[in-house]
Amino acid sequence: MATSFAFLWFSFFTLLSSTVSIAKITPGFPSSIIRPEKLSHTTKNQLYKQKYFTQILDHFNFNPQSYQTFQQRYLINDTFWGGAHKNAPIFVYMGNEGDVEWFTQNTGFMFETAPHFKALLIFIEHRFYGKSIPFGGNKDVAYSNSSTHGYLSSTQALADYATLIIDLKKNLSATDSPVVVFGGSYGGMLAAWFRLKYPHITIGALASSSPILHFENITSPYIFYSIITKDFRSESENCYKVIKGSWQQIEDKAKQPGGLETLRKSFRICKNYISASSIENWLYTAYTYTAMTDYPTPSNFLSPLPAYPVKQMCKAIDNPTTGNDTFAKLYGVANIYYNYSGSATCFDLDDDSDPHGLEGWNWQPISAWAGCLRRSRSRLGVFEPLILAWGGGAVVFPFSARGDFGSVSNTFLTLFAVFV
């Protein structure tokens, strides 16, 4: 069975919508088949009640703007709670980069364990995501510049969670109820960091599929590509070779007269602008997200998929039903991820809709962490060789010793990316 890892670093692309008559697919963070706005009020009420908390904009500074507030959304389910009088526990989900309802509807573990522990369930939405937008909920203002964007950080988010949890426990007369925090991917990082930063608030943290050690000089920056490569190669050596060799074939075809039109027809791309890179990104997204959700049962968190979807992708290459040339095989592969339901007639690579409130993720990773991913010509495994050798983002006080900008002030905020 292929290994599946859910790293947060691959949400940098534009977003997509999957519930239209003609599927609109973009190489970005995939849309869940369960869309919060499509759920009935009855279904939502069975899962949780939606509430808002008046949250502080800036927990750490004393500027005039720091005292502003915003409405932070959280979801609560008290169906299983044993009550404050019995010091029954409180399970808190550390919201990550998107609409908190999306994650709540796909976090079965907490709902499954809550009855056993008689736990209260709380799901807190991360600032700047979903409906928890500062500056009056106006995204145009919140995302307008670095001054407003500066309030989008993991440290501020952790302080949000601490403030909300303390206030909630007080209002419920549950100050003695133990708190356990949960999270996955970036949310799992937040859970682990919350336990370290606020040990007086939580007795434990469960971090699922979280790259908490994926930083420079700790974990190999090639590890993600290595794992994905092993996923496909373990199913079929031929599958691995076809995918690995396909990138150059796409590049070569795109350079030929009429080549892009051939590619458009081969991959059933809707009539819009395409390029070799847009098709490569589209395929790259399908491979990576399928490997990250390579579950032994059918699933629909990121996209409707069969059980063991990596195995099914390799079957589409080894035993093709759509044609024997490379592009026909790859179309069969992409169809498993983007169109397993069979409803799409063509794919739109330009869709930039944001059904899950993820817009802030375009800024946050590159402004907050010095983690990086390397792409080298010899170590990308199944993926295409790129000229990008090193890339990352950081807020540095002072700048890193490996800095490429020379001597800078120790109060200078630096965003950097290094290319060769």
How confident is the model over 85-124, as pLDDT tens digits?
A: 999 999 999 999 889 998 898 888 999 999 999 999 999 9
Least reliable range by pLDDT among 107-116, 155-164, 293-302, 384-393 = 384-393
Q: Is the pLDDT of residue 254 over 70?
A: yes
Return residue ranges of the chain for CATH 1.20.120.980.
Answer: 8-16+220-338
Q: Is the pLDDT of residue 402 over 50?
A: no
Q: 185 versus 6: which is more confidently predicted?
A: 185
Residue 35 CA: distances (Å) to CA of 104, 137, 299:
11, 21, 14
Residue 174 contacts residue 84 (beta carbons within 8 Å): yes
Q: What residues form DSSP beta bridges with 184?
A: 208
Any idea which of 278-292, 357-371, 373-387, 395-409 has the lowest mean pLDDT? 395-409
For the whole model, what pTM was predicted? 0.77
- What pLDDT is attached to residue 196? 97
The span from the CA of 381 to the CA of 361, in Å, is 27
Alpha-carbon span 268 to 261, nearest angstrom:
10
What pLDDT, on the 0 to 100 scale, is given for residue 335? 93
Grade residue 127 by pLDDT with cuts at 50, 70 and 90: very high
Lowest-confidence pick of 236-245, 353-362, 378-387: 378-387
Q: Which amino acid is at 409?
A: S
* Higher-pLDDT residue of 399, 384: 384
280 vs 147, more confident: 280
Strand order in the sheet with 49-56: 49-56, 69-77, 120-124, 90-94, 179-184, 204-208
Fold of 8-16+220-338: Four Helix Bundle (Hemerythrin (Met), subunit A) (1.20.120)
Please list the residue range(s) of the chain that carry CATH number 3.40.50.1820. Answer: 36-208
36-208 sits in which CATH class?
alpha beta
Given a contact cutoff of 8 angstroms between Cβ atoms, the answer to whether 222 and 214 are in contact is no
> Kind of pairing, strands 204-208 and 90-94?
unpaired
Q: Which of 314, 338, 420, 380 is nearest to 20 (CA)?
A: 338
Q: What is the DSSP letter of 377?
A: T
Q: What is the average pLDDT value for the chain, to the nearest integer? A: 80
pLDDT surpasses 80 at 56: yes
